[in-house]
Amino acid sequence: MAEPAPAAGELERAAQLLRAGGLVAFPTETVYGLGADASSAAAVARLYAVKGRPADHPVIVHFADAARAFAWAREVPESARRLAARFWPGPLTLIVRRAAQVGDFLTGGQDSVGLRVPSHPLAQALLAAFGGGVAAPSANRYGRVSPTRAQHVRDDLGSDVDLVLDGGPCEVGIESTIVDCTRGAPVVLRPGGISAAQIAQALDAARDQAAPGAPGNNAAPVPRVSGSHAAHYAPLTPARLVAPHALDAQIALLGAQAGVLAFSRPDERVDFWLRMPRDPAAYAQRLYGALRELDAAGCAVLLVEAPPEAPEWQAVLDRLRRACRD
Ligand code: TXA
Ligand code: MG
């Protein structure tokens, strides 16, 4: 995939903007992030204001490599080390206990912090040029569909963002897998680009090496995950998840008012029909752009043909269930 290269000096300008407390949107392999200097309370406050995000919702901090990331952790459990070694740089966020310098303004007051080392070359270059941690939620307004192209960020945030680095379309297309490593046995809080099976496989190896009976802290409070709110990742148009066998009847009922996201060929009764790939990874990459296109078409209702209830569809199904509230 041809990616637009940043103009000479643009990366250094982006790093300077971050140092000055500015907001820089940048591509990652999952979705575009809205970045701010994670060591600056003022910069992060502006980030929350622009996103419209409640102050008690924690944000992920991004780094160029695992050594820098883990310097923000008070302790790094073996499970986190193992997962980082296996999947970083890549679409994985690890929740660990926070180090002393990690401000309440990043964690919503929680004792843990989310760390991620993205693999996108432009994210890598920006994080290396900046050197420190970059707080970055997805670069959309709170509760809306995450951006997977630079134009989506410009559409959503306009002049509220100081610079948008354009790295082309995101390869994964949905947010990172989040694994909580603070409570003994690691828990997947949000399915994503790395499957639960891949996480389990990497951890099985780690568990074999762990001292038997190592104490886990199961009494720690369950962390809040804003991505688990029902109305997250939602298109503006009411969307409905429809079983394949029920799609025809729904179309007959709604006719031209409906927009459709489906595996099958377009139906002449519907004006806005987007055909989706049968491969889960290709579907994920296309999903948010498709929801945005259907939103822009001005349909009354979006009908989304449900993918199979299979492990490889877990992350896509998670996002579709949140998107479909009708
Ligand atoms: O792929 C991604 O993860 C993208 C790119 C930009 O890295 N970022 C992203 O950030 O999706 P955001 O802020 O939209 O979602 C981060 C999720 C939220 O649901 C938040 O609650 C959770 O991570 N999170 C962050 N820190 C946490 C913590 N300490 N404990 C529990 N959940 C945390
Ligand atoms: Mg988000």
- In the chain, what are the domains? 10-208 (3.90.870.10), 239-323 (3.40.50.11030)
Q: What are the tokens at 6?
A: 């940043």
| pLDDT above 70 as % of the chain | 89
- Measured CA to CA, the distance from residue 246 to residue 249 in angstroms comes to 6
Residues 302-313, buried b or exposed e (16+ Cβ, 10 A)?
bbbbbbeeeeeb
- Residue 207: Cβ within 10 Å count: 15
Predicted confidence at residue 11, as pLDDT, reads: 95
User: Do the beta carbons of residue 304 and residue 320 sit within 8 Å?
Assistant: yes
Contacts of 237 (CB under 8 A, 6+ apart): 259, 294, 295, 299, 300, 301, 302
- 135-154 residue pLDDT tens: 999 999 998 899 999 999 99
Predicted confidence at residue 204, as pLDDT, reads: 86
Q: What angle do CA 194, 117, 54 make, to 5 degrees?
A: 85
Q: What are the tokens at 308?
A: 């199979």
Which amino acids bring their CB within 6 angstroms of ligand 1? 28, 30-31, 33, 57-60, 93, 95, 107, 110, 112-114, 116, 136-138, 175-176, 178, 189, 223, 225-227
Which residue out of 157, 178, 182, 183 has the highest number of ligand 1 atoms within 8 Å of its CB and is therefore the one to mutate?
A: 178
Contacts of 230 (CB under 8 A, 6+ apart): 322, 325
Separation of 298 CA from ligand 1 center, angstroms? 30
Which residue out of 32, 34, 88, 225 has the highest number of ligand 1 atoms within 8 Å of its CB and is therefore the one to mutate?
A: 225
- Measured CA to CA, the distance from residue 156 to residue 145 in angstroms comes to 10
Predicted confidence at residue 220, as pLDDT, reads: 37
Residue 182 one-letter amino acid: T
Residues 84-106, buried b or exposed e (16+ Cβ, 10 A)?
bebbbbbbbbbbbbbeeebbebb
Predicted confidence at residue 208, as pLDDT, reads: 60
Which residue out of 59, 113, 140, 182 has the highest number of ligand 1 atoms within 8 Å of its CB and is therefore the one to mutate?
A: 59
Contacts of 320 (CB under 8 A, 6+ apart): 241, 287, 304, 306, 307
Which segments of the chain have a pLDDT < 50?
Answer: 1, 211-226
In the chain, beta strands by DSSP E: 24-26, 33-37, 60-62, 92-97, 112-116, 134-135, 163-164, 177-180, 187-190, 239-242, 258-262, 272-275, 301-305
Nearest CA to ligand 1 atom 24: 58
Q: What are the tokens at 294?
A: 């259907």
Q: Which of 27, 91, 117 is nearest to 281 (CA)?
A: 91
Q: Which of 112, 27, 20, 29 is nearest to 72 (CA)?
A: 112
Cα dist. 316→191, 212, 287, 323 in Å? 9, 36, 8, 10
Separation of 106 CA from ligand 1 center, angstroms? 11
Radius of gyration of the chain (CA): 20
Ligand 1 closest atom vs CA 53 = 13
pTM: 0.92
Predicted confidence at residue 155, as pLDDT, reads: 95
Predicted confidence at residue 143, as pLDDT, reads: 83
Separation of 212 CA from ligand 2 center, angstroms? 38
Q: Which of 142, 145, 166, 143 is nearest to 154 (CA)?
A: 166
